[in-house]
A and B are shown apart, each in its own frame.
Chain A
Amino acid sequence: MKTVPSDGAAAAPTRSRRRAGGSAVIVSIAGAILSLLVFLAVFADLVSPYDPLRQNLIASLQWPSAAHWLGTDDLGRDVLSRLIHGCRIAVIAAGEATSIALLIGVPIGLFIGYRGGWWDWIVMRIVEAVVSIPGIMVAIVILALLGTGLHKAMIALGILFSTSFLRLARGVVLAEREEVYVRSARVVGASDGRILLRHILPNIAPPLIVQTTLTVGAVLLAEAGLSFIGLGVQPPDASWGTMLSTAAAFMDLHWFLAIPPGVAIILTVLSINLIGDVIRDGVGRGIAVAARPDAGAPRHAAPAVVEPSAAPPPRHRPDEVLRVEGLRVTVATADGGELPLISDLSLSISKGETLGLVGESGSGKTLTGLAILGLTSVALRTTHGSIVLNGRDLRGLSQRQIEEVRGNEVAMVFQDPTTSLNPAFTVGSQIAEVLRAKHGLSKPAAWARTVELIDRVGIPRPAERARAFPHELSGGMAQRIAIARALSCNPSLLVADEPTTALDVTVQQEILDLFRDLQAEFGMAILFVTHDLAVAADICDRISVMYAGEMVEMAEVGALFARPRHPYTRGLLSAMPHASDRMPPLPTIRGNVPRPGTWPAGCRFSNRCDFRIAACERRIPLAGADRQVRCIRADELILEAAQ
């Protein structure tokens, strides 16, 4: 399968912003609480004001006072001292049970997930049997076998909780082992053990860490629970669970007894979960860290503020369906600034015309299509420009009105037909739904029209195929259905985003022919987004070449291929595989497409351009009327090429 990196440049900044704005104070508090817990556990004997077991029946069930800060319990024992000694039990319990759970669950989970087959089948059936019984019952059975006491209770809990680690580890390994890097490791010759420990384990650490912190919390609660019913810590020893158990017995007489252990348990569990989240983000795959600018690319100053276009808007054309002027889309950055992804973009499409939007990943071509439909993600903002469709500026419309427009006047076809169709419904019902919602057709009428549309996009036996689910169709067939759905509202503009990229060449050819036929019949304007210049040459009337968020050249298709004027367009054309017949070295454009934020200040192509001169350091406007190019040397270069 062919895949093309999408133009999504926005994911990283959103994530990092969330982290940067995170509540550092709460995390520090959580850290302090846990440190205090460990400190108290280690130095309980030194810190606690009284012996936790010393009874004083005269001073029982007292409220907090200067002598007893948290009061006394039914036997007159100091609650604070018992709480502090309970910390020790809590730490031992959490540590013991969680370690046992980890040590049993993770290795077995890794092994059966990676190996699969009989091992997997047998272990999973056992786990399912254990999980199907209430956890506390399992613990009680294990305790019945082992006898009561803290350590035995923790062994029981460890075994019980190991099933969740086992299932988690198995699940993530099942997903990870299909990753290409695991195949690479096998090709290198790494043994299964090495692949599991060195290659896979670090990548599944984040969910395991979360599970660990959840387990610590659960163990604390379960220890309290077991002690409460008398199977864990035995009286008179102090644990938070036995304290709660006591408190329950004296609820009516002295409700305050429940407060100290309750608050201690809540604070500890909350703190551990918080810290777990922080650790997980830290050891995550590095994606939480904002991606650094391209390693190889030279660093450039942040792009100068782009003034709303100095260039004249494009000439009005007859029968204009869509007219975009001075479009600018930005993404919010971590430091509160705004990073432009698309700047100063103007274009227009007439009725029955196909405009190609061509560029490499990161050029902003897909984003342009989405921005026109108002479908950009929340982190992105369209800050400047107008998007006029059939005489109405879409940017002035309310969300509701935009939705109305999307169903009736604009439709979209995406790259991957198998994911753009809902797998849970038959393809026919997905088209009929649109017809009923947007055109108010009756159920039979909508179905009849659906079959008609499916027939129109060239699918044999349409009535039968309408009842098929998306996964029952080939990629080409599914794309035809997606096109039929887009046509169902008879749009005046169709935005097609790489509609043939995921298809084989022979199927691609059929789909391109279909677009052409349908356009001749329905007369809609098409905005065709593609990375493949040859596809654009086939389907488009005019082509606009995008680079680093702006248009660098726009021309009639014949003129563009016969006489490309921008050095980037030329570079792209000569780099196409069918363009040259010779053996390597094949022509290349040096360097990489710069990411947003690393664009050169003047001409954005200048750092890769062979024709660069000093004047390229300035912003260069898009010049020309019908044929536009953003290069100050365009005229000279034509002469040079002609010689």
Chain B
Amino acid sequence: MSDEALLEIRDLRVTYWGKSLLGFKGRAFDAVKGANLSIRPGQTLGLVGESGSGKSSIANAVLGLVPANGGTIRFGDVDLAAMRTRYPPDVRGQIQAVFQDPYSSLNPSMTVEDIVTEPLRVHTTMSRAERRARAVDLLRLVSLSEEHLERHPHQFSGGQRQRIAIASALALTPKLIVLDEPVSALDVSTQNQIINLLYERRDELGIAYLLIAHDLALVHHISDRIAVMYLGHIVEEGPSDRVYRSPAHPYTRALLDAVPLLDPDAQRRRRASRKAAPARETPRLAAQGCPYRNRCPHAMPRCEADLPPDYPVDGGGTAACYLFDAAAGQGSARLRAVPA
């Protein structure tokens, strides 16, 4: 699989330095602590986690917005991590992005035409007329039209702005688009319009997506594979349906169980079982060993010693959890025995 991967991330570390009083490098904080991921051409990887999990740091490292502090990000035949955010133009044009907030991701002083054609201006020698023609094509791709070219972002609704951002990301027909929470600032009725649009364009243009989101249910709809992050670690990875329907890692399960259901009765039952479980007051981050062990209902003495490696899971993918250590004879059966 890794031979044909479009993007292959190995042992990626992303570190931020706080500022000391004089404005020099201060304390280090590892946002990503050795992540492995791969995306095949034309496929979508959903990267899920709560705030502070490091998912956006991975996105920023792939986009070259923050330097990697270790590991490799192989994209085609080049290592992006080694380039330290200075990507050559041909690589830069292959990786585009759509960000979360459509209200601040579009330059308020530029027209839609300027925004959509900016990648063409930077990367091609197209004439103004050619660029305009391409802009019209791009707007059609996202269900907007020529009449919108002269307008400014503030004249559009959130969903329409996100369409403009997508049109701009599609301008160079990239191989990979990083979607950083592309719909979480949008209304429910608009979210699905954008998800559908992204899905259709992916199949038409053969683009791969790295989809960053906090909502597993939403990611599940358009991802081929899902990776789940917790405090800088990828704790589970696997085919989308398997992760969503039979989550392996206890954290993935907790994440899924925490999403409120649309059915008030099912919600009531779930609440009752939650109450029955003993409350635990522990720090979120365990200093060593498994990062989740302080909140994990299955924590074992083993979990305190070492970081669990990735174990294969039935149905595909891996989970960084000793429950899946076949050698220890525990297998995944044990997790299923725990009442939901």
Interface size in chain B (residues, C-beta < 8 A): 79
B147: which A residues are within 8 A, CB to CB?
Answer: 295
Closest to B184 in A: A2
Least distance between A602 CB and chain B CB atoms (Å): 20
Q: Does B106 contact A (CB under 8 A)?
A: yes
Q: Does B159 contact A (CB under 8 A)?
A: yes
Q: Mark A224-267, 1 if CB is under 8 A from B, else 0.
A: 00000000000000000000000000000000000000000000
Interface stretch among B29-37, B126-134, B216-224, B321-329?
B216-224
Bound Cα distance A557, B274 (Å): 21
Q: Are A561 and B262 in contact, CB atoms less than 8 angstroms apart?
A: yes
B23: which A residues are within 8 A, CB to CB?
Answer: 121
Contact status of A561 and B218, CB under 8 A, knowing A180-B104, A189-B123, A575-B192? no
Q: Does B154 contact A (CB under 8 A)?
A: yes
Interface stretch among B264-272, B306-314, B331-339?
B264-272
Q: Mark A280-310, 1 if CB is under 8 A from B, else 0.
A: 0000011100011011100000000000000
Q: Mark B127-150, 1 if CB is under 8 A from A, else 0.
A: 000000000000000001001100
Q: Are B196 and A592 in contact, CB atoms less than 8 angstroms apart?
A: no
Q: Are A2 and B214 in contact, CB atoms less than 8 angstroms apart?
A: yes
Least distance between A586 CB and chain B CB atoms (Å): 4
B275: which A residues are within 8 A, CB to CB?
Answer: 513
Q: Mark B49-82, 1 if CB is under 8 A from A, else 0.
A: 0110000000000011100000000000000000
B260: which A residues are within 8 A, CB to CB?
Answer: 508-509, 512, 532, 534-535, 537-538
- Enumerate A584-617 residues with CB–CB distance to B below 8 Å: 584-590, 592-593
Contact status of A571 and B189, CB under 8 A, knowing A194-B122, A292-B155, A506-B254? yes
Closest to A194 in B: B122
- Enumerate B63-118 residues with CB–CB distance to A below 8 Å: 63-65, 87, 89, 92-93, 95-97, 99-101, 103-110, 118
Q: Are A572 and B258 in contact, CB atoms less than 8 angstroms apart?
A: no
Contact status of A291 and B154, CB under 8 A, knowing A189-B123, A532-B260? yes
- Enumerate A154-203 residues with CB–CB distance to B below 8 Å: 179-181, 183-191, 194, 199, 202-203
Contact status of A583 and B222, CB under 8 A, knowing A1-B51, A295-B155, A360-B187? yes
Determine the interface band of chain A, counting residues with CB < 8 A from chain B. Answer: 35 or more
Q: Are B65 and A190 in contact, CB atoms less than 8 angstroms apart?
A: no
Q: Are B185 and A5 in contact, CB atoms less than 8 angstroms apart?
A: yes
A292: which B residues are within 8 A, CB to CB?
Answer: 155
Q: Does B16 contact A (CB under 8 A)?
A: no
Bound Cα distance A487, B168 (Å): 48
Q: Are B259 and A534 in contact, CB atoms less than 8 angstroms apart?
A: yes
Closest to A359 in B: B187
Q: Are B263 and A360 in contact, CB atoms less than 8 angstroms apart?
A: no
A582: which B residues are within 8 A, CB to CB?
Answer: 221
A558: which B residues are within 8 A, CB to CB?
Answer: 264-265
The A/B interface has a contact count, at CB < 8 Å, of: 211
Least distance between A542 CB and chain B CB atoms (Å): 11
Q: Are B259 and A291 in contact, CB atoms less than 8 angstroms apart?
A: no
Contact status of A561 and B151, CB under 8 A, knowing A188-B96, A505-B214, A583-B222? no
A572: which B residues are within 8 A, CB to CB?
Answer: 188-189
Contact status of A578 and B123, CB under 8 A, knowing A184-B165, A188-B118, A532-B260? no
Contact status of A575 and B188, CB under 8 A, knowing A188-B96, A189-B122, A285-B154? yes
Contact status of A588 and B154, CB under 8 A, knowing A187-B96, A578-B259? no
A475: which B residues are within 8 A, CB to CB?
Answer: 51
Q: Does A460 contact B (CB under 8 A)?
A: yes
Bound Cα distance A188, B120 (Å): 9
Contact status of A189 and B87, CB under 8 A, knowing A534-B261, A561-B263? yes
Bound Cα distance A580, B154 (Å): 33
Bound Cα distance A240, B261 (Å): 77
B-side residues, CB < 8 A to A, are 23, 50-51, 63-65, 87, 89, 92-93, 95-97, 99-101, 103-110, 118-119, 122-123, 144, 147-148, 151-152, 154-160, 165, 168, 178, 181, 184-185, 187-193, 195-196, 199-200, 214-215, 217-218, 220-222, 254-255, 258-265, 267, 271, 274-275, 281
A-side residues, CB < 8 A to B, are 1-5, 121, 179-181, 183-191, 194, 199, 202-203, 285-287, 291-292, 294-296, 360-361, 460, 475, 504-506, 508-509, 512-513, 516, 531-535, 537-538, 557-558, 561, 571-573, 575-580, 582-590, 592-593
A to B CB contacts below 8 Å, 10 in the list: A181-B107, A183-B65, A188-B118, A286-B154, A294-B157, A296-B160, A505-B215, A535-B260, A561-B263, A576-B188
Give the 8 A-B residue pairs with the shortest CB-CB distance, closest first.
Answer: A189-B92, A534-B260, A202-B109, A504-B50, A584-B199, A360-B187, A589-B189, A577-B218
